[in-house]
Amino acid sequence: MLRSTRLDWLPPMPLRAYLRPPVRELPFPLEEPGCRHFLRPRQALWQGARALGLEPGDEILMPAYNHGSELQALLDNGLEPRFYEGTPALEPSEDELESCTGARTRALYLIHHIGFPQDAPRWRRWCDERGLLLIEDLALGWLAERDGLPAGSLGDLSIFGYYTMLGIPEGAAVLRRGGPSAATAPEPAEFGWRAVARRQAGRIVLRAPGSAALRQRVMPEPVYDASADMQLGDRASGPTKASLFLLRRLRPGRVAGRRRENYRTLLGGLRELVPAPFQELPPGASPLIFPIRCERKLEVLERLGAKGIRPLDIWSATHPRVPAARFPGATARRETVVGLPVHQELRPRDLERMIAAVAEVGG
């Protein structure tokens, strides 16, 4: 029997996108006057923090549950994190924040986890009452909104990652409220079609049953290096012209709705495995992945991979500056949460296949 096609948490780029005319308007914040494009959200954050006028030694209230690259971008600016655990719903706790706030505290860092919007109006008011800046992180949550308001529109500084939502090789944005987001906006240095062509070839291979060996040659599984994954890289690098070309042809305005539909379908079969606060889907969510909780995480990743499903091993590594023992909630999530594909290119039979595979593998 031929092996089924592989399902990846990153969306493939449909061939039809190359023939489409560009959309006239991109979603928030990409048409805002102060928006600047960078290679990855970490570079956007590093540049934006400098534009805010933060000085070395200034403190940032930072969630302990983080990727690590955003933390490193702040550290490379000379800023000091003051970590908070937050609630089981991954929201900040006012009492905990108050206990962390000191004389040099300048900002609250708010992560909209995997596209589930936080109550940004509440934290905007909280920051204003204390004279603090609000930084909104949508590196993994672009297109989310709450009560009709785009997530990221209330922050003094907001960062957005759009490459993960669309499957293009790279692309992130930064927006600063009331001023330029960065001193300079990097110009795309090249077209970058080689990376696009490689990813497109990977899409064709992934859709071809029985091609495991060919997949490994075309798109080999990378060896994960947590330390390298958290590094800032080139502070002024921008996306290629190829990625910006595709950005307008992948119809990003339709992405969040399709992801919500797929998320609801997976909830219907796997709700009992979903950790808080993701058991319910808010109307304005833009889910990056479908999270499930598994006690034997590495085993589940391996067994799903054998079934042609590549989930996201989300945030399993802890940045050295985070005292993991003080934050058991964050540590537990790192050890147990896996993200299934939920992207806009999935077909109904793909969703059915994932539900069946997870049921067979077991949480």
Q: Which two tokens stand for residue 219?
A: 């798109």
Give the strand pairing for 145-146 and 133-138: unpaired
* pLDDT score of 206 more than 70: no
Which residue(s) pair with 109 in the sheet? Answer: 135
Which residues have C-beta within 8 Å of that of residue 98, sequence separation ≥ 6? Answer: none
Residue 246: CB atoms within 10 Å: 24
Residue 168: CB atoms within 10 Å: 27
- Please give the mean pLDDT across all residues of the chain: 90
Which residues have C-beta within 8 Å of that of residue 20, sequence separation ≥ 6? Answer: 249, 251
Is the link from the previous residue into 117 a cis peptide, with omega within 30 of 0? no
H-run or E-run covering 46: helix 41-51
pLDDT tens digits for range 214-268 = 555 555 666 678 888 899 988 888 898 889 999 999 999 999 999 999 999 999 9
Position 5 confidence tier, pLDDT thresholds 50, 70, 90: confident
User: Average pLDDT in the 16-39 region?
Assistant: 92
Position 158 confidence tier, pLDDT thresholds 50, 70, 90: very high
With CA atoms as reference, report the closest residue to 363 among 276, 289, 271, 278: 271
User: Average pLDDT in the 62-81 region?
Assistant: 98
pLDDT tens digits for range 159-195 = 999 999 999 989 999 999 887 665 566 666 566 667 6
pLDDT at 1: 31
Contact 300, 361 (CB under 8 A): yes
User: Average pLDDT in the 32-55 region?
Assistant: 93
Q: What is the architecture, at CATH level 2, of domain 21-176?
A: 3-Layer(aba) Sandwich (3.40)
pLDDT at 321: 97
- As a whole number of Å, the CA-based R_g of the chain is 20
With CA atoms as reference, report the closest residue to 175 among 185, 163, 190: 185
Share of the chain above pLDDT 70, in %: 87
pLDDT tens digits for range 85-125 = 999 999 999 999 999 999 999 999 999 999 999 999 999 99
What's the rounded Cα separation, in Å, for the pair 287 and 257? 9
pLDDT at 115: 98
Contact 63, 83 (CB under 8 A): yes
* pLDDT score of 29 more than 90: yes
Helix 348-361 × helix 297-306 angle, to 10°: 130
Q: Is 135 helix (H, G, I), strand (E, B) or coil?
A: strand
Residue 87: CB atoms within 10 Å: 13
Who has greater pLDDT, 225 or 38? 38
Who has greater pLDDT, 199 or 343? 343
Helix 348-361 × helix 255-270 angle, to 10°: 40
What's the rounded Cα separation, in Å, for the pair 83 and 326? 10
* pLDDT score of 137 more than 80: yes
pLDDT at 14: 86
Q: Tokens 């001193």 correspond to what residue?
A: 183
Phi first, then psi, for residue 108 (nearest 5°) are: -110, 130
pLDDT at 188: 62
pLDDT tens digits for range 210-223 = 555 555 555 566 66
pLDDT at 214: 54
Contact 2, 213 (CB under 8 A): no
pLDDT tens digits for range 275-297 = 999 999 999 999 999 999 999 99
Which residues have C-beta within 8 Å of that of residue 351, sequence separation ≥ 6? Answer: 262, 265, 266
Q: Which two tokens stand for residue 65?
A: 């549950």
Q: Which two tokens stand for residue 340?
A: 């299934």
Residue 215: half-sphere exposure toward Cβ, Cα within 13 Å: 21
Residue 330: CB atoms within 10 Å: 22
* pLDDT score of 356 more than 90: yes
Share of the chain above pLDDT 90, in %: 76
With CA atoms as reference, report the closest residue to 166 among 230, 274, 277, 252: 252
Contact 67, 315 (CB under 8 A): yes
pLDDT at 2: 37
Of 15-19, 91-95, 277-281, 352-356, which gets the smallest average pLDDT? 15-19
Is the link from the previous residue into 150 a cis peptide, with omega within 30 of 0? no
What's the rounded Cα separation, in Å, for the pair 310 and 67? 19
DSSP 171-240: -EEEEETTS-SSS-PPPP-S--HHHHHHHHHHHHHHTSTT-HHHHHHHSPPPPP-HHHHT----TT----
* pLDDT score of 78 more than 50: yes
